Chain A
Amino acid sequence: MSGTIFDIKEMAVHDGPGIRTTVFFKGCPLRCRWCHNPEGLSQKPQLMFKENRCRHCGLCYKKCDHEECKPFGRCVHICPQNCLEITGKTVEAATLADELKDSAKVLGNTFGGFTFSGGEPLFQYKFLLELIDKLKNYHLCIETSGFAQNEVFKTVIDKLDFVIMDIKIADNDLHKEFTGVDNTRIIENYRYLKASGKPHIIRTPLIPNICDTEDNLSAIKKIIGESPWEKLPYNSLAGAKYKMLGMEYGL
């Protein structure tokens, strides 16, 4: 079956053990206000416009007959500066798996494995499961918000080697306010993860005054106990991509 991804990154060094290749799934049920991958939110293809390179030549407004350009009213195959790009492509799991295996071949025994990130990879869990099945001989890792039905979470996690999971905000109301969803499932899924004995790490983005408060951090600590925990410093450039997508940054 097919799924939607928006990027494949070679030489990912911060997404799990070894030199990894990370696949970014497009589409996410959360709407974290600080999200630094806004192209991962919607599952639909989107037009990305890199305005800083634009020389206002207007060529992209020329009529074209490319099917993919139609929804946007602009041609993405003409810009001399390559300012316009459609983010999000639909790929067959089998095709994607073959492509991914190529980079694994290059790296041989220095290859760490594959990481599924996004967006939220569990949002396309059927596609993800097929991909996992085709790549089962490799070390597989997921970066997830943990927001998924318990059954889905269990089925996927059981097939993986390593889990990187966010617990962003412990308080359910605040979680709803800043991410758009309830965290009950996330915490249930975390408990399953912990009980399963699967190697994992919990991540908390240190969003100023939202996640980095003492209350929040101590509450998270209470939930996760001795689970490995990584606190990610807030990236002040996180909002940069919003403008390219014609979206507004929530922070």
Chain B
Amino acid sequence: MLNGSKLYNFIINKEHHKYRHSVDWDLASEYSEKNLSPIERMIDRFERVSNEENPVILPDEKIVFMRTVSNLPAIFTEKEWDEIKSSHYIHELGFISNLSPNYYDTIKVGLLEKRKSADEYGKRSIDSIIALSDRYLKEAQKQGRDDLVEVLSRVPRYSARNFREALQFFRIIHYALWLEGNYHNTVGRFDKYMYEYLKKDMDAGVYTEDTALELLEDFFLSFNKDSDIYVGVQQGDNGQSMMLGGMDENGNEVFNLLSELCLKASCNNKLIDPKINLRVCKNTPAERYTEATKLTKAGLGFPQYSNDDIVIPALESLGYEHNDAVNYTVAACWEFIIPNVGADVANIAALSYPKAVDTAFHTSLISSETYDEFFEAVKSEIFKETEKIHNSIKNLWFVPSPFMNVLMDCDIYSGGKYNNFGIHGTGIATAADSLAAIKKYVFNEKSISKEDYIKAVDDNFENSPELLHKLRFESPKLGNNDDFVDTIATALLDAFADSLEGKINCRGGIYRAGTGSAMYYLWHANEIGASPDGRLSHEPFGTNFSVSLFANVKGPVSVIASMSKQHFNRAINGGPLTLEFHQSLFSDDDGIVKVGALVKNFIDRGGHQLQLNTVNLQMMKDAQIHPENHKQLVVRIWGWSAYFIELDREYQNHVMARQAYSV
């Protein structure tokens, strides 16, 4: 096992950071003076930075390449960037993100072959990578590392001949994507495109399962060498997500020896990268859930499950061809994307359900005579909001990325085969619980007057403690397998999907409604005050497709029942139900089998996506006081796992506030 070895400790103690340096080149001014086009700037920076990289090979390290230049200088002056932004819609940082490139073909043919069909910038990017890899080769020769000399003499120039070369090839490509300035660079269906190399070597007796696993652990470790440089909204949000299992084009299950070894490697390494996803379906055997639950027990917040039975037909109904739909993987978190040919922007914006309810509550409650009339007002707010989002995204532009373009089977500048936009939906439980309370107390029981209710919410319930208590703790909540509320969540999700139907985005694609929240569960929560479900001002929403933070729910069985009733075939951008289990649930094998059975049940019921967190509240409390004692404590945030102590307080507190189910 790699865990505990010298190499492993060297990396987790960040000792390799000593090889790093930053550069203070003012590229932006230089490019501006020369009046270089964006793509010329990108390739020039790539050439310079890759030339600046120093090859580092650590003792015993089998999979090499690590970042030694810790920053990428800007390529536009502030003024230029402002100009670009004023005439374009810029998504997040403006660079390409959340794509799943064609690793398979690239590793299969080698970069020289890819070079033939690449454009001039693509060719230059390939030349830079080969030059850097040749410097690594020299370093390997200098160190007398014959094993690496053999590998690097072959890849990335030519096709990989075996498992080790294929893994090294992947590492070089993935590293280069980051170095180019792309982010949330996903791993895709790793066990599908890599298995043939492992199989060939296993058949030839090159590896035993143990030695193959050891190599894989070394490879997995490589994802953690530079990941601190790749910060998203928080440290850990880096999108290095790997997909395992699932159907192939012929309807056969992909899950193979490599998939199994990946689960084990992740379990052994206990590191947050790569982030493991598992595709499952009705036919997935119970034992696989048990194996996967062993990884859940490791406390890394994965695997995250996606349900082929739901996702594939839903993608097809959105217009994806069958062969593409069956090949889906996830973007950085949980958004469904198509490898090789898809250029969807799966996280372009987010709808806040509670805001729609809040607006309708303040403008239409008084005049509504029935609940249905009031719900129509909420629905109309959802339509207005998505229309606003639609109108705000015009002339979308990404900074060109020559190497990513080489790796995709489509021209990413003009758009891929799929150019759909995904929109998250935040706070569904807060909205559904609010509507359930309004329906029950205002329209059914008539026990609260509309005016009093609005005033109480506006006063943040300061003068109505009885009402607050009743709303928070004694009212119907999503997550209790209670149709009264669950159908409201369904209606909200349907309204969201309805509002996007028929809309064509600025790249000619459609919009996809989603069940994810990303960081909006904090951001959107601050856009409104208290809400009619008894949520106080500044209290956050639940993450993704989850119950409210303060809901008294009966338990995980009721939660999976409530959260698998909705029409996910119409809202398949992605976004999982998130369950937190106390560590004690996994204390014996029996518990592991039973958690696995619960997951299977959720999938068999038609749930679309699920992530499980293993939590220990005591440990988290202690980690806030003594962070130095809990450096390796990992928690799942909204679609990625992070080291607890590296998170901002508000994210830490949110994880601690989520409901944990114990035994």
Residue numbers of A with Cβ under 8 A of B are: 8-14, 18-19, 21, 59, 77-80, 82, 102-103, 106-108, 110
Contact = CB atoms under 8 A, between A and B. Distances in A.
Given A13-B591, A108-B604, A77 B470 contact: yes
A106 B601 contact: yes
Contact of A80 (B469, B481, B598): B469
B468 A80 contact: yes
A102 B469 CA distance: 27
B560 interface: yes
B199 interface: no
Contacts of B481: 102-103, 106
Given A9-B555, A78-B469, A14 B601 contact: no
Contacts, number: 69
B601 A77 contact: no
* Secondary structure dominating the interface of B: helix
Contacts of B601: 106-108, 110
A98 to B, nearest CB: 13
A110 B556 contact: no
The 8 A-B residue pairs with the shortest CB-CB distance, nearest first, are A10-B555, A10-B557, A106-B561, A13-B594, A110-B597, A13-B591, A82-B473, A110-B601
Contacts of A13: 585, 590-591, 594-595, 663
B474 interface: yes
Given A106-B561, A108-B604, A110-B598, A11 B555 contact: yes
Interface string B576-602: 000000000100101100110110110
Given A9-B555, A11-B557, 17 more contacts: A8-B554, A10-B558, A11-B594, A13-B585, A13-B595, A14-B591, A19-B597, A77-B470, A78-B465, A80-B465, A80-B468, A82-B469, A82-B472, A103-B554, A103-B558, A107-B598, A108-B604
B465 A19 contact: no
Contacts of A14: 588, 590-591, 663
A230 B189 CA distance: 44
B24 interface: no
24 contacts: A10-B554, A10-B558, A11-B598, A12-B663, A13-B585, A13-B590, A13-B595, A14-B663, A18-B594, A19-B594, A19-B597, A77-B470, A77-B474, A78-B466, A80-B465, A80-B469, A82-B552, A103-B481, A103-B558, A106-B560, A106-B605, A107-B557, A110-B598, A110-B600
A218 B468 CA distance: 56
Contact of A77 (B469, B557, B558, B595): B469
Given A19-B597, A106-B557, A59 B663 contact: no
* Secondary structure dominating the interface of A: mixed
Interface of B: 465-466, 468-470, 472-474, 481, 552, 554-558, 560-561, 585, 588, 590-591, 594-595, 597-598, 600-601, 604-605, 661, 663
Contacts of B558: 10, 103, 106
A75 to B, nearest CB: 8
Nearest to A85: B473
Contacts of A8: 554
A161 to B, nearest CB: 17
A44 to B, nearest CB: 22
A103 B481 CA distance: 9
Given A108-B601, A110-B601, A10 B556 contact: yes
B598 to A, nearest CB: 6
Interface centre among A21, A59, A103, A106 (most CB of B within 10 A): A106
A12 B601 CA distance: 15
Nearest to A19: B594
Nearest to B558: A10
A13 B555 CA distance: 13
Contacts of A78: 465-466, 469
Contacts of B597: 18-19, 110
A103 B561 CA distance: 9
Interface centre among B556, B561, B585, B595 (most CB of A within 10 A): B561
A12 B556 CA distance: 10
B461 to A, nearest CB: 8
Contacts of B472: 80, 82
B307 to A, nearest CB: 16
A31 B532 CA distance: 45
B601 to A, nearest CB: 5
